[in-house]
Amino acid sequence: MALVNGGFLREHCAVAELARQDGAAIEVRGLFKSYGDVQAVSGIDLTVERGQIFALLGPNGAGKTTTVEILEGYRSRGGGTVKVLGYDPGRQRQRQRLKNQIGIVLQSTGVDRYLTVVETVAMYAGFYPHPRPVDEVIDLVGLAAKRDTRVLKLSGGQQRRLDVAIALAGNPDLLFLDEPTTGFDPSARHEAWEVVKNLAALGKTVLLTTHYMDEAQYLADQVAVISSGRIVAEGPPATIGNRDQARARIRYRLAGGATPPAGLTAPPGPDGLIELVPDELTGALHRLTGWALEQHVELDGLEVIRPSLEDVYLELTDSPAAQAGPEPASAEPATTAPAGGKGRRR
Ligand code: ATP
């Protein structure tokens, strides 16, 4: 009788080989998922390159969590192909390997409040075969001064940093951050952004979901907007939805009763602001400011505005189809969802 199961060994080696493959960190083609008669994800394609910060945006119920949980191996898919760090999270043996190489920051976690920061990170590090040194992780998230403080004495922002530290404990190549700054005050948000930027500087790949457009704008190399289970736009934050090519608007308010030259004025809005969408921005701005200087007129609140990421996002997700929410499931085989809704627990 053979001492080693040959089939097991071959599969084991094949799985290990997958991890060594180069290529994108995440590759998704034609992903489907339905819950009974609700089609939550309707044919998503996604590529997240290694080392990228990728933001998934979308309104409530768009299918973000479902997509991310399928990538993490916490949900089954109804159709399509998924590769995460070369593994198929839908296959049990590959999923186990994958889980050693990813870190997950959930919206809320249930860590022991009586442990200190260092004890907490050390405990999670103990679950992984090749953890990152505990004090290095604590430093990385900016909690060195709180190393020996109990979790219950940390502020909300510091607890969130601890969540990131826990996700980093196993030294993962890929991190999933689920709405990482929800509920933060503005300064805590900016601090958390720096932590995420530090992760990218270490070469980690980050997939985050967020409802904050400024967060996506600041952090992400690439953004995908998901609406009713479909990707409706994808690109770098500066150019998504042809933002960079959209015509700029000029806005100003006139003090006194002066009348600007034709083509450079419009009826003011209720706030007194005049808004123009000139064919040629530089020339219009030059003529308007030249006229104002000559006439000694002040152009209060003068600004040039281009569509923000938020404008583009609202346009993409405010369409009647997007408002209608996920489609009823059709041809795709329905799969059974785990009970209890958002199912991930550490
Ligand atoms: P949010 O921003 O509110 O977290 P989301 O984009 O993450 O939303 P999902 O949680 O993926 O959206 O939900 C997509 C659709 O699937 C929604 O219509 C939701 O009601 C439905 N859904 C999600 N989980 C389940 C479940 N376990 N059972 C049945 N339907 C579900």
Residue reference for tokens 């006194």: 256
Q: Cβ(122)–Cβ(141) under 8 Å?
A: no
CB distance 41 to ligand 1 below 6 Å: no
Q: What is the DSSP letter of 298?
A: -
Percent of the residues in the chain that have a pLDDT greater than 90, as a whole number: 48
Residue 255 is predicted with a pLDDT of 76
Compute the distance from residue 328 Cα to the ligand 1 centre, in Å. Answer: 13
> Measured between alpha carbons, how far is 48 from 27 in angstroms, rounded to an integer?
7
pLDDT, residue 342, reads 45
pLDDT of 338 higher than 90: no
Which residue did the predictor score with more confidence, 24 or 141?
24
Q: Measuring from atom 11 of ligand 1, which residue has the nearest CA?
A: 63
Q: Is 56's C-beta closer than 6 angstroms to any atom of ligand 1?
A: no
Which pair of structure tokens corresponds to residue 179? 């709405």
Residues in the chain: 346
The answer, yes or no, to whether any atom of ligand 1 lies below 6 A from the CB of 341, is: yes
pLDDT at residue 290 above 70? Answer: yes
Three-state SS at 214: helix
Query: Ligand 1, atom 10: nearest CA belongs to which residue?
Result: 65
Residue whose CA is closest, atom 29 of ligand 1? 35
Is the pLDDT assigned to residue 100 strictly greater than 90?
Answer: no
Look at residue 11 in the predicted model and tell me its pLDDT.
43
Residue-level pLDDT at 3:
35
Q: What is the CATH code for 8-101+173-242+312-328?
A: 3.40.50.300
> What's the mean pLDDT in 260-275?
88
Q: In testing the pocket of ligand 1, which one of 65, 67, 227 has its CB within 8 Å of the most ligand atoms?
A: 65
Q: Is the CB of 337 under 6 A from ligand 1?
A: yes
Q: Take residue 54 and report the two structure tokens written for it.
A: 């990728």
Question: Whose alpha carbon is nearest atom 30 of ligand 1?
Answer: 35
299: CB partners within 8 A, 6+ apart: 252, 253, 254, 288, 289, 292
Half-sphere exposure of 272 (CA within 13 A, CB side): 9
Q: How confident is the model at residue 306, as a pLDDT?
A: 85
Judged against a pLDDT cut of 50, whether residue 1 lies above it is answered with no
Cα atoms found within 13 Å of the Cα of residue 60, Cβ hemisphere only: 0
Ligand 1 pocket member 66 (CB < 6 A):
yes
Mean pLDDT of the chain: 84
The helix-helix angle for 156-168 and 117-125 (nearest 10°) equals 20
**Each residue's pLDDT tens digit, 186-241:** 888 888 888 888 888 888 999 999 989 999 999 999 999 999 999 999 999 988 88
Ligand 1 atom with the shortest distance to the CA of 337: 27
Q: How buried is 176 (Cβ within 10 angstroms: 0-12 exposed, 13-18 middle, 19+ buried)?
A: buried
Is-contact 156 184, C-beta < 8 A? yes
Tell me: pLDDT of 325 over 90.
no
Q: How confident is the model at residue 322 (pLDDT cuts 50, 70, 90)?
A: low
pLDDT, position 275: 92
Please name the residue whose Cα sits nearest to atom 21 of ligand 1. 40
182 is written with which tokens?
Answer: 């929800």
d(CA 66, CA 64): 5
Q: Give the C-alpha separation, 220 to 218, whole Å.
A: 6
Classify burial at 253, counting beta carbons within 10 Å of its beta carbon; exposed 0-12, middle 13-18, buried 19 or more: middle
pLDDT at 159: 86
Give the residue, 322 or 30, on which the prediction is more confident. 30
| Average pLDDT of the segment spanning 293-308 | 90
Q: What is the mean pLDDT of residues 322-331?
A: 56
pTM: 0.79
Contact 219, 55 (CB under 8 A): yes
pLDDT in tens, 151-186: 999 988 888 889 889 988 989 999 999 888 887 788
Cβ of 74 closer than 6 Å to ligand 1, yes or no, is no
Binned at pLDDT 50, 70 and 90, residue 106 comes out as confident
The residue ranges of every structural domain in the chain are: 8-101+173-242+312-328, 247-305
What's the rounded Cα separation, in Å, for the pair 325 and 142?
Answer: 40
pLDDT in tens, 43-74: 999 999 999 999 999 999 999 999 999 999 99
Order of all β-strands in the sheet with 299-305 = 274-276, 249-254, 299-305
Rg for the chain (alpha carbons), in Å?
25
Specify the residue with its C-alpha closest to ligand 1, atom 3.
60
Please give the backbone phi and psi of residue 223, each rounded to the nearest 5 degrees, phi first: -125, 140
Q: Is 63 in the pocket of ligand 1 (CB under 6 A)?
A: yes
> In the structure, what pLDDT confidence band is assigned to residue 247 with cuts at 50, 70 and 90?
confident
**For residue 144, is pLDDT > 90?**
yes
- Distance, CA 196 to ligand 1 centroid (Å)? 26
Helix, strand, coil percentages for the chain (3-state, nearest 5)? 35, 25, 40
> Which residue, chain included where needed, has tokens 């192909």?
81
Of all protein residues, the one whose alpha carbon is nearest to atom 27 of ligand 1 is 341
Judge if the beta carbon of residue 273 lies within 6 A of ligand 1: no
Residues 69-88 pLDDT 10s: 999 999 999 999 999 999 99
Identify the DSSP state of 146: G
Shortest-distance Cα residue to atom 17 of ligand 1: 61
Q: Say what the pLDDT of residue 286 is.
A: 95
pLDDT at 16 exceeding the cut of 70: no
Its sign, for the CA torsion 259, 262, 265, 267, is positive
Half-sphere exposure of 271 (CA within 13 A, CB side): 7
What share of the chain in percent tops pLDDT 70? 85
